[in-house]
Amino acid sequence: MLIEKLIETYLMRNHYCPLPKLGTLILHEKNAHIETINKKIEAPKTEIRFENRHSTDDDFIQFIAQKKSVKYDEAKILLIDFCQTISLLNQFTEKKINHTGRFYIDTDGVLSFRQNEIAIEFFPSVEANRVTHPNQSHTIRVGDQERKAIFKKIKTDKIGKTAKKLWWISAIILFLLVIGICIFSYQNGFKSDFWNNKTKIKPTNTIKTYRVIQ
């Protein structure tokens, strides 16, 4: 098995892979996140970074020895020789690590690592339409701030039902009030001030404005 393949396997299993005198490949996992503006949920992704820090390589060397069925010292030499080829890179050459990525020298002359692009089909985004549940509190993000919206559907329904009950109660009260006024007026012969017919109207004398010609 090629040393490049062993690097990939060890990196995926342990989330890091030490490379003597070079640095360490580290696997970072990005959680799924919501894009509020685009209403999408981005799938979780992995990112491989090359950091200029040294880690203990004993476990990785033993892993190489086990997979290649060689002694520890021989596995250590294989790893050192591979790292030596990477350290000899210039701005016109690169070293590929199978399907993971490649080592290269950037414009500043620094050894760097670029991860291979992963096909978007393997990490599709999902639509994230807002869903609200009646009678529950929801924290809704509006721009860069959060607003707490409380939905009280049952309370609204109760108000509507109460209004309906009050309607027929009010109708009964109004009906009884009209009946009471009619009875009161009947007992008083409809002569009360309420009907405005207490004062008698006196006829006025007519003034003749014409004469009869004989």
**Look-up: residue for tokens 């799924």?**
32
Q: Considering only CA atoms, which of 85, 84, 92, 11 is closest in space to residue 50?
A: 11
Q: Considering only CA atoms, which of 133, 159, 138 is closest in space to residue 150?
A: 138
The model scores a pTM over 0.95: no
How far apart CA 213 and CA 11 sit, in angstroms, is: 137
Q: How confident is the model at residue 205 (pLDDT cuts 50, 70, 90)?
A: low
User: Which pLDDT score, from 0 to 100, does residue 192 have?
Assistant: 53
Domain range annotation of the chain: 3-127, 153-214
User: Which pLDDT score, from 0 to 100, does residue 146 have?
Assistant: 47
Of 82-86, 159-163, 180-184, the range with the lowest mean pLDDT is 159-163
Tell me what percent of the residues of the chain surpass a pLDDT of 70.
56
How far apart CA 31 and CA 42 sit, in angstroms, is: 9
Q: What are phi and psi of 64, to 5 degrees?
A: -65, -45
How far apart CA 58 and CA 42 sit, in angstroms, is: 37
Q: Kindly state the DSSP code that residue 109 receives in the 8-state scheme.
A: S
**19-75: pLDDT as tens digits:** 999 999 998 877 766 666 666 776 667 788 999 888 889 999 999 999 999 999 999
